[in-house]
Structure 1
């Protein structure tokens, strides 16, 4: 099978026009969705870009000039397929539809994806020309407000034109992914608390969870002991919806869309443990080191000023753990939200712990302000991973930001919606069986959802609570046992960053007739998996194949030696 030639059209001038009006272009996040999986595509940034060699065209932002629309419709009529992910009212009108943007609701996604519950979207780009009763919902459909709300439309609307077609997504996928992961506006004030009193985020402190966009009543579930938690990785599932449709449309043309596996061969999902060194008691560090050694786990230690004495830092490093930064912007403790204070505290840690590089940061108390200031500071100081986007309260644990993947955040329109060079790796919960926090009944549902996504189960434990509350230590042992039973591998944040950045350098150049990928780039020390979607009735013989993104895929293993010599 030939690899589909994919074009991604994000028109430069249309973006400039939006930025001039102080509007965001979250459609730029489509690049991150594709790049995360190493899906090959060609960037097209002008309305006059050549489409001659393109098989599948993803349109995230159009210049709706007559010339651009004429060229696009010509491409379709000649047999091209367009995956349309924008509103584009003029294009809608040209194809006999009316266009209107709507608010949040839920999408019932294709059955092949195996999503247990409908997936929350934050915005629609609704094209309509008929009544809901006449729409075929085989490939999914959207409802307004709640999962039991009024049917709005199919998830995908297909418009045939000549020999090709436009496949329009009624949900705004990139906007929904960004909005769930990062919010839809800068954090400038307290968020709305849970109506049942379980998560009072309106506490006078600006935090990551003040900008969350899920629904308190709809998007939380409860364990058998009554622990409420956000149960679904909604943002990750919208990624799956897009990749599923892209592969489906390629297969219809007898083509394939290969992609890079998330983890090395033999690993399907990762667990990671971080600690915040609040109060810096060396006795609590001793207990933590002993517990980690007993369980055979290496973890990430986020250090708050003034930190530990040098000998303890050396011991932590010698025992294989990662030393990281715990930036304190809590004014009640003498902290300050400013770039200079961030840099000062980080330099203090580097000096005391004898560190040339710090890979990871997590903000104390999940303090967060604005949109991207923290990410800029991390970039400037060479920090590669931030862990600040997690729950601050007992009642908003889980997939609060809809993801368990390490991802690159997008900037605000003031920075032209660029991608920050910092991986965000949020956590699910902290200090299980702490007397004021969640109990261990959340372990299994958290691990199950991360397994479905193939992501990272990130749990936070404070060293202090291992010292003061023996039940927390027992909960940690239980977590480790459950994770290993589910074949999770424990990595530090630094390990995750090194792998993720190296994996993204793997480039798929093509696929042979037999399904063998031609790959360049290298990941040292580990074998990389390449997945090649094939038709369901393919003659696989002795080929290894599994279902990924709702499609049967050949599993091709690229050894690191092969990658280095390709």
Structure 2
């Protein structure tokens, strides 16, 4: 029998020869799903696992294929994505047709976009979703005691191309409707957009986080398979205290009016919303930085440059060090370039990493026609190079620039709903000289009010980084038996408001031997149990799940 442990165990094989496949690992880590990387299936490597993921454009050796087929027939649960891995027959499929881009309706009948992948002709597989010309995109197929499933889109390639965009070395051409002018002689992040202005926008806005939608469909299919194992699955939730989404405000400071700073703080305090102040040289007086700290706000760097020749690590390091000293802050971890500037592909992340910056707030559009989810995502992510290595710098893309002025106020409601549906991060970019404009401040108030009504978690960018890093580095130890499962957790740092989601057949949940209040929590197409935790550094805590007898019998 596959997967002999008490908990559902997930293994993944990521295609080494595929430059985009490594982005699958980032998707899994962001989702909070524990998984194990498998380079070989020899010597019983598959036996401990209930679910196996094959990711990207890859193939298997004959011994690995034979081991996989035996594991499947004994009850294994397989999900193949990005290509068929030469196993169309085991998947119940016929010919798989590689496509650079295709669209389909997901299982909830909403539109999805994929860059790369192989929709297939279905034979014996049950089709869950398909393209408009009838090719299978998602499918399931019974094989012995096991199930082989298919997700045709290349999730890694889609995420990489949308979220990273193109390298920026020249101006791009904007939309034909004139809602954004990109060929203006100034290189910005918006020049790297990979999405299509004609087909991927709603009116003048990129209203849908297309990359997040596709990632979620893949995660949902993983969860569907996990439920077939009849074992509990644990997942670490994205946001503190069970919030459905997060929100942050960052303000570019090229002007330094202290009175306006105090005025905006009164507004932000109404919603409990801290701010990341991205400060250019020469900056504020020292007393203002002390005020920021007393309000629990963050000081970050607004990197200034006279022209593209100033895009250097030496210049970034000089400005970063000068601001640390002026603000009397031991480490500034958040930054972006002035006016949304950008150059190259990975250059800023490499410079930032060397300097000690850990959050980039760079990816976003600053004109109406490039507003919204310009890079297909509202998720923070660690950028992945084509060699498979990931940056230490977290990108927090912004979907709103100057609410009410650039981003239209009548689209606030739809934007917040899109963020909630994708469990995303609503990052609002503002600028200091707009603090004196009543209509801009009123629009900001209205947008924050919508977020507050939906109980979105307000975080400064450094907090987003700290929580995301803590989630990903948390140590999880699974144990127990069919009657009582245990999950021990340990963190290198204090973590407040961590949410553990349990997908289980029911039963009592205990924390360190005491019953805890757990709440139903819908996510990824399933109903989970949410267990809130506060972890202290280096201190082990134990969750114990006692499964009801009726559930075991089922």
Q: Same fold (TM over 0.5)?
A: yes
User: Paired residue for 1:485?
Assistant: 453
CA contact (8 A) 2:14 2:54 kept: yes
Q: Provide, for residues 467-517 of structure 1, a one-character-per-residue CA deviation record: whole Å limited to 9, x for no partner.
A: 2x2211222222222222222232211122122212223344337646865
> Could you tell me which of 393, 399, 421 is aligned with 1:452?
421
> Could you tell me which of 8, 11, 29 is aligned with 2:23?
29
User: Paired residue for 2:244?
Assistant: 268
Q: Provide, for residues 46-71 of structure 1, a one-character-per-residue CA deviation record: whole Å limited to 9, x for no partner.
A: 46472222221111254433333333
1:203-282 matches, cutoff 5 A: 203-222=184-203, 228-282=204-258
Q: d(CA) in 1 for partners of 2:62 and 2:164?
A: 35
CA contact (8 A) 2:242 2:532 kept: no
Q: d(CA) in 2 for partners of 1:355 and 1:322?
A: 10
User: Paired residue for 1:417?
Assistant: 388
1:342-421 matches, cutoff 5 A: 342-412=316-386, 416-421=387-392
Aligned length: 525
Q: Provide, for residues 36-94 of structure 1, a one-character-per-residue CA deviation record: whole Å limited to 9, x for no partner.
A: 23322221124647222222111125443333333333332333222112325633378
Structure 1 unmatched runs, 5+: 19-23, 143-149, 223-227
User: Paired residue for 2:55?
Assistant: 60
CA contact (8 A) 1:330 1:364 kept: no
Q: Is the counterpart of residue 118 in structure 1 residue 92 in structure 2? A: no
CA contact (8 A) 1:173 1:238 kept: yes
Q: 1:314 to 1:336 in 2, by over 3 A?
A: same
Q: d(CA) in 1 for partners of 2:526 and 2:20?
A: 27
Q: 1:462 to 1:100 in 2, by over 3 A?
A: same
Q: d(CA) in 2 for partners of 1:547 and 1:178?
A: 28
Q: d(CA) in 2 for partners of 1:486 and 1:5?
A: 34
User: Paired residue for 2:551?
Assistant: none
CA contact (8 A) 2:126 2:139 kept: no
Q: 1:482 to 1:53 in 2, by over 3 A?
A: closer
SS at match of 2:303: coil
Segment of structure 1 superposing worse, 235-244 or 554-563 = 554-563
User: Paired residue for 1:91?
Assistant: 87
User: Paired residue for 1:106?
Assistant: 103
CA contact (8 A) 2:79 2:150 kept: yes
User: Paired residue for 2:168?
Assistant: 187
Q: 1:292 to 1:248 in 2, by over 3 A?
A: closer
Q: 1:51 to 1:295 in 2, by over 3 A?
A: closer
Give, in angstroms, the shift of residue 289 of structure 1: 4.2
Q: d(CA) in 1 for partners of 2:8 and 2:303?
A: 45
Q: Provide, for residues 360-413 of structure 1, a one-character-per-residue CA deviation record: whole Å limited to 9, x for no partner.
A: 11221222222212111221222121110011212111112222222111113x
Q: 1:487 to 1:350 in 2, by over 3 A?
A: same
Q: Provide, for residues 143-193 of structure 1, a one-character-per-residue CA deviation record: whole Å limited to 9, x for no partner.
A: xxxxxxx3252222334444434322211122112222112x433333331
> Could you tell me which of 519, 530, 537 is aligned with 1:555?
530
CA contact (8 A) 2:208 2:373 kept: yes
What is the root-mean-square deviation in Å for CA atoms of aligned residues? 2.9
User: Paired residue for 2:463?
Assistant: 495
CA contact (8 A) 2:350 2:391 kept: yes
CA contact (8 A) 1:389 1:424 kept: yes
CA contact (8 A) 2:168 2:187 kept: yes
CA contact (8 A) 2:126 2:140 kept: no
1:428-467 matches, cutoff 5 A: 428-434=399-405, 437-467=406-436
User: Paired residue for 1:51?
Assistant: 46
User: Paired residue for 1:310?
Assistant: 286
Q: 1:323 to 1:257 in 2, by over 3 A?
A: same
Give, in angstroms, the shift of residue 528 of structure 1: 2.2
CA contact (8 A) 1:181 1:235 kept: yes
Q: Is the counterpart of residue 506 in structure 1 residue 474 in structure 2? A: yes
SS at match of 2:304: coil
Structure 2 unmatched runs, 5+: 510-516, 542-554
Q: d(CA) in 1 for partners of 2:67 and 2:269?
A: 63
Q: d(CA) in 1 for partners of 2:195 and 2:485?
A: 41
Segment of structure 1 superposing worse, 154-163 or 200-209 = 154-163
Q: 1:42 to 1:428 in 2, by over 3 A?
A: same
Give, in angstroms, the shift of residue 259 of structure 1: 0.4
Q: 1:562 to 1:141 in 2, by over 3 A?
A: farther
